[in-house]
Structure 1
Amino acid sequence: MGTPSTPSLSPLPSGGERFKRGALAGLLAGILASLIMLLLSLTIGSTSLPEALGSSIAQTLPLPIFSYLHDLLGVDAKRYLFAIILIGQCLVFALFGGLCNLFVDRLKFGQWRDEQGDLSYSTGLTLSGILWLFSGLIFLPLTGSGVFGSQLPTGVSSTMASLALTGIAFGLIFILIHNWLVWRSLRLNNAAGDSETAAMLAEKQAQRRSLIRNGLVVLGLGTFGVAAWRFIVSSSGLGSGSSAADPQLQGTLIQNYQAKISPPPVPEYGTLSTVKGLTPEVTANTNFYTVSKNFVSDPTVNGQTWKLTVDGQITQPFTMTYNEIAAMPMHSQTETMMCISNEVGGNYMSNAKWDGIALKDLLQRAGSIKPGATKVVLYAADGYSDSIHLSKALEPTTMVALRMNGVTLPNNHGYPARLLVPGIYGMKHVKWIERIEVVNTDYQGYWQQNGWSDPAPIKMTSRIDTPANGAQISANQPTYIAGIAFASNKGISQVDVSMDSGQHWQKALLKKPLSDLTWVLWEVPWQPKAGSHQIVVRAIDLQGNVQSPLSAAPLPNGSSGYHTIKVTAN
């Protein structure tokens, strides 16, 4: 039996060929290294370079550009940004790989490449070290994260370790792929005498290159296409989250608008029918909406070592463990929460029962509040922060919650502790709280620095859950129009529904809410005639204030307008 032949030596390829080979190996190794980085971020909360850059970009974007992107892409804007940054990171890895392979032969110290053209593993480790230093000393400081992430919640040690692990993985994988490409090229050259084999190998090589190139093109076009599709959908007609944007309808609604009814309507409560498609009164924890500043992973906090510090403009600062706080007298409240970025008719609104301690009780434990104090700042484990006015902090319904719907607060909802502040949007309901500070300054939080409202009072809203926008329904058959209405801590007294584009209104039957802080479920029986129908809904709070028909985008004060859908009865 013969022994496998070793490909014969060939002249070192040209600089352009070396760069392409190194770039291809760098790209493939970079994709795998990026996946490792994301896996570490998701599992142990380590530093993610794309997330650091994404957060930096989000905070430094001028408000007009931020507003345009939010209107264009909605709450998914940060996902698109993260995808673009991730692709960019892989291309940077490709650049490093190409430059490494191009210049390694010009370095005279050490054995970097053998006679076959293979790169040594010491080359990969050296490249890892260069990337590690570049990330820690140049890239992260440029994003405002500090040297080796000194300004990040993960800290310097964790950042150095995770970057080192990612860098070593990239270096070793890069060498493996590069050397495989070298030997593959040598085998191709040795087969040059066999024209059929050479042609076959050349064709396969071209196919693989084409596949990689086309894959990157498809990925880029796919990202652009999703963004364009979202733009087209948001710009055409009335979607499930549309306000009354039709000029004629808008004019009718504004012309007949009465801002306040005095005396306020008396709520008409009753038992609702079982209407398919109507939102459950209490939202399951797994279905409760989640929004955070984080692009990939939220923090995972160890409740056994976690401590809550209360300090600032108070006379007796203190620190408590989770067990100490959990032993304090708790109360329950059912409260609906809504994100400030929620569109008219949107789904970023949920309702749950919460258990916790009134924030005023924690502040009273800290002694007296010093004169001049104006705000309370909440600091989170992920570096997020926001503030509420002191008067709001002292309201009995402002709570530090430890439980949600009868179970320990889930991690993605802020375990071990989160804030609940009825009356204002969800960005103020800080999750993963680590510190509460009473201040005498006008502290501006993470989203306020991006141009969002600081007072952030919730605007009254109502939504049609069923039928769905664009639905085909049976003509002359009994059915129901149903949905929810929410006026934060002001309560709902009446919901009106119009089936003829705002010309006439019909009162809906309300289900008595679980508390003064929750949404209400409503329904209207309907027997539609054949044809197209435009359905509009509006709400009135317990003080007689009527929901505004004026359409407004979420940025900076929250969306407004009447949710409107179109259905066809056949």
Structure 2
Amino acid sequence: MSTTSRRYAALAGITAAAVAIGIAEPVAVLTGPRSAPLVAVGGAIVDAVPESLKQLAIDLFGTADKIALLVGTAVLLGGFAALFGVLAVRRLALGLAGIGAFGAIGVAAALTRSGADLADALPSLVGAGLGALVLWLFIAGPFEMNPWSWSPPTPAAGPPSSGASVPPAAGGSVPPAAPASGSSSGPTAAVEPVAPADVDPESRRRFLTGSGVLLGTAVVAGLGGRWLAGRRGVSAARDAIRLPAPVAPAPAVPGGANLSLAQLAPYVTPNFGFYRIDTALVVPQVDPDTWRLRIHGRVGKERTYSYADLLARPLVERYVTLACVSNEVGGDLIGNARWLGVPLRELLDEVEPDDDADQVVGRSVDGWTCGTPTAALRDGRDALLAVGMNGEPLPVEHGFPVRMVVPGLYGYVSACKWVTELELTRFADFDAYWVPRGWSRQGPIKTQSRIDTPRRRNRLTAGPVTVAGVAWAQHRGISRVEVRVDDGQWQEATLAPTVSVDTWVQWSWRWDATPGEHRLQVRATDATGETQTERTQDVVPDGATGWHSVTVTVR
């Protein structure tokens, strides 16, 4: 097969894969967006890949890690599809078998997701079937490039003219040709290879037209399916909700809590800027009218609550800073918001947990689990079953209609979004999602601090410079922040006011900068008197440690 024919064959395979994925999207509108092959396979990858690769994705792409995964999966699929196209030219059954294998992978991925049923296999089956049909159209049907592999033309019968290539005789020798009139006698001219014929223009036009139409159809179907899935979402239901006023409003943010400096994170993180790290490749769309929360397990009285039940209860409002355990030293996977919800302590009291039920397992609608120490939900801290965020219903991507918010614990053990179950159990009996993947069972937040301004490699002018950032030790609070320059003496920074020990605090320090390159470091001390450790530790298994530093140049 020539290089040209391989390129066309690869394009045929890619077109077949695009049709399979694109057509599966509108089918998934009927069965649920998590059943779409790309999403189902991507979800299976998230569950199966080593933790080190997940952390690498978060480090490289941050909150865009899911988009990167879907794009990477699509690119990988495109590579295999190109290979299947080339194989199909040699033998059609090989290409069809490749598409069938990917269809089977999509079916298996969809059916093994939490809450799946047989209907979830439909998008992968329909997509694989149409993909196989498209491949046949290109290899053996009306869009066929004929021929896919070219051979030299067969010489016409009769004596060849001087210099023409002559097929060898049966014995392998080439008989001499009779000299033509006027030609000189002598040995026969050397045999020269004949170049393969070029692609037939009509065949090429038919192929390119067919592939263009099918690729366009795949794109329209895929985008249309995504749009229809969005139309079936819950944004309208969320917009119609009017949250009741809290019986215990959040304390007012004190004056001066927000220093309003360039590059410094605001004291209250807006909803659109709040970090999002979870395993859901497609944001779950949960109808508040049908949502139910079941509390069961090692309890005296199992209970079930509706969304209306929660809104009818006395609601409290609190500022709480949430942090992801994957947050590197100096990272931005942290945010502070005003949450509205029902105290979890009250709900647990109503179900009467057994004395040995030391873990509450939160289950998301997509099957994800987190294990929270029961004691942390009943020790008086403002642990909430939240329905509101910064004065509005929870954003869909942040857990609408209901999520957990627990001060002092990393999100992987406490902040279950789209929660539908709370099961009272024991740590000895059940490991939540992240525990078998190398993370600790319990994740209390560590004392941390960060320099927001100046930023790394900033060029500054000699003279007074304001160094500022944030520090946090939720449920303990921050008592002191210190800054030093070039390993010199630690200098105490000024702490801004804060709402409570459950939120971060802004800090600032005035530096008389001198010319040259300098390294700034920061450390914090919590209200218990424990100072942030200098020892550097990776985020696994229970959060990063170390002092944040930035290097700046002063002119």
Indicate whether the TM-score tops 0.5: yes
Partner of 2:279: 293
Partner of 1:153: 114
CA RMSD of aligned residues (A): 4.1
1:275-424 matches, cutoff 5 A? 275-294=261-280, 296-366=281-351, 368-396=352-380, 397-424=382-409
Is contact 1:19-1:102 (8 Å) kept? no
1:79-478 matches, cutoff 5 A? 83-97=71-85, 102-103=90-91, 132=103, 135-136=106-107, 140=108, 145=109, 149=111, 151-153=112-114, 155-175=116-136, 179=141, 181-182=143-144, 274-294=260-280, 296-366=281-351, 368-396=352-380, 397-428=382-413, 429-442=415-428, 443-476=430-463, 478=464
Question: Counterparts of 1:68 and 1:413 in 2: how far apart (Å)?
Answer: 21
Question: Counterparts of 1:324 and 1:379 in 2: how far apart (Å)?
Answer: 19
Partner of 2:173: none
TM-score scaled by length of structure 1:
0.71
Partner of 2:543: 558
One-letter amino acid matched to 1:166: G
Query: 1:253-286: CA deviations, max 9, x gaps?
Result: xxxxxxxxxxxxxxxx967754211111100101
- Farther-moved stretch of structure 1 (336-345 vs 518-527): 518-527
One-letter amino acid matched to 2:266: P
Question: Counterparts of 2:53 and 2:79 in 1: how far apart (Å)?
Answer: 25
Is contact 1:493-1:540 (8 Å) kept? yes
Question: Counterparts of 2:522 and 2:450 in 1: how far apart (Å)?
Answer: 7
Cα drift, residue 422 of structure 1: 1.1
Indicate the structure with greater helix content.
1
Could you say if the C-alpha distance between residues 83 and 67 of structure 1 is closer, same or farther in structure 2, counting changes exceeding 3 Å?
closer
Could you say if the C-alpha distance between residues 444 and 271 of structure 1 is closer, same or farther in structure 2, counting changes exceeding 3 Å?
closer
The total of aligned residue pairs comes to 462
Is contact 2:362-2:416 (8 Å) kept? yes
Is contact 1:552-1:561 (8 Å) kept? yes
20, 29, 33: which is aligned to 1:33? 20
Cα drift, residue 33 of structure 1: 3.1
Partner of 1:523: 508
- Farther-moved stretch of structure 1 (467-476 vs 54-63): 54-63
Is contact 1:351-1:519 (8 Å) kept? yes
One-letter amino acid matched to 2:458: A
Question: Counterparts of 1:271 and 1:422 in 2: how far apart (Å)?
Answer: 19
Query: 1:172-200: CA deviations, max 9, x gaps?
Result: 544555556525769x99xx9xx9xx869
Could you say if the C-alpha distance between residues 292 and 79 of structure 1 is closer, same or farther in structure 2, counting changes exceeding 3 Å?
same
- Farther-moved stretch of structure 1 (17-26 vs 88-97): 17-26
Could you say if the C-alpha distance between residues 155 and 70 of structure 1 is closer, same or farther in structure 2, counting changes exceeding 3 Å?
closer
Cα drift, residue 543 of structure 1: 1.6
TM-score scaled by length of structure 2:
0.72
Percent identical among aligned pairs is 28
Structure 2 gap segments, 5+ residues each: 155-193, 212-254
Question: Counterparts of 1:360 and 1:427 in 2: how far apart (Å)?
Answer: 20
Structure 1 gap segments, 5+ residues each: 1-13, 107-122, 213-268
